[in-house]
Each structure stands twice: as structure tokens, then as C-alpha cells.
């Protein structure tokens, strides 16, 4: 029916990641995000959803990029519950996924402490 094969490009999250980081570097700690900034974070977290499903935990570059993303937020926000909503859910997915999964590997490699309890 569909020829049996569907092709998807290999992705790297680096480009969007640096874009998001660049934006947040300008912000003061815990300052509210503008609508445009929330949209950007949202777009990135959508990409995280894709990575969660398809990225390979052995791909060091992607793991490091997402790990830095988590570390960044952990450093900026003093606790888990104060994270912006969309980022909050990405943290949940990373933390509760199987330890061998991509998101979980990235979270484990970050500087985030276990603040879910």
C-alpha cells in the first residue's frame, strides 16, 4: 500500500538547541518568558518528543546537546517545580523513561539533581 518503506532524515537537535540557548542566555534568572519565547521552547520540546522516540542513546553528540539543555534549565531554575510548563513535562519524560532510552541517558548525563521526590 505504501511501498512498505518510509524514510526519515536523521536528525540532530543541535541547531534548534543553540537557538533556544542563545535566547535564554539573555534572560534573567526565573524571569517570565514572552509568548514568542514560550513558542520557541515548545517547538524545541516537540523535537525532544521526536528524539525521545527515535534518537539513539549511543549518539553522543545528540545526547550531549540535550544533556546541556537539561543542565541549563537546572542551573537557571532552583527547583523542578518552578520549571516552565513545557520544559517541566520534558523533564518528566526524561526522568521516568527507561534508563537505556535516549532522553533518560541525556538526563543522567546532565548536572540535574534528583529533584522529583
Partner 1 sequence: MLYSESCTPTSHNSFSSSSNGFILWPQQHLSIKDQLKIGVRGFMLDIYYVDGDIVLRHTSKSIPGVTKPLSGKDILFYDTFKEFVDFLDKKSTKEADCSTITILLESYVLNKKTYEIINKEGLADKYLYTMNPNSASLADVCNKIVLFTSHNRDMAPGVHPPSLYKENDYKYYSDEFLGYSTLNFLEYEKCEERAEGRAKYINPDIKIFCFNHFSSLSALLTLNICIKPILHQLTEVVDQNLELLNIDCESRLAKFNFLKPIDYAKKSFLHSHLDQCKSQDIKDKFHPTLIAVDFIEKDSDVFLCYKDENCSGAKCDFIEEEITYDLYSIIGTGIITLAAALLIGRCCHFGNDQHDHID
Q: Looking at beta carbons only, is 63 or 103 nearer to partner 1?
A: 103
Q: Which of residues 73-102 bind partner 1 (CB under 8 A)?
A: 85-86, 89-90, 92-93, 95-98, 100-101
Contacts 24+ apart (CB under 8 A), 95-104: 97/52, 100/57, 101/52, 101/57, 102/51, 102/52, 102/55, 102/56, 102/57, 102/59, 102/62, 102/63, 102/66, 103/48, 103/51, 103/52, 103/66, 104/57
Q: Closest distance between partner 1 and the C-beta of residue 15, in Å?
A: 13
Q: Which of residues 24-83 bind partner 1 (CB under 8 A)?
A: 42, 45-47, 49-50, 52-54
List residues near partner 1 by CB under 8 A: 1-2, 4-11, 42, 45-47, 49-50, 52-54, 85-86, 89-90, 92-93, 95-98, 100-101, 116-117
Amino acid at each position: 500500500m505504501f511501498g512498505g518503506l518510509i524514510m526519515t532524515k536523521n536528525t540532530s537537535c543541535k541547531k534548534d538547541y543553540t537557538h533556544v540557548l542563545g535566547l535564554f542566555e539573555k534572560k534573567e534568572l526565573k524571569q517570565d518568558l514572552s509568548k514568542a519565547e514560550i513558542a520557541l521552547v515548545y517547538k524545541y520540546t516537540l523535537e525532544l518528543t521526536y528524539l525521545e522516540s527515535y534518537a539513539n542513546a549511543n549518539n553522543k553528540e545528540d545526547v550531549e546537546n540535550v544533556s546541556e539543555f537539561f543542565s541549563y534549565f537546572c542551573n537557571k531554575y532552583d527547583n523542578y517545580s518552578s520549571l516552565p510548563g513545557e520544559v517541566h513535562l520534558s523533564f518528566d519524560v526524561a526522568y521516568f523513561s527507561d534508563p537505556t532510552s535516549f532522553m533518560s541517558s541525556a538526563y543522567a548525563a546532565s548536572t540535574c539533581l534528583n529533584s522529583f521526590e
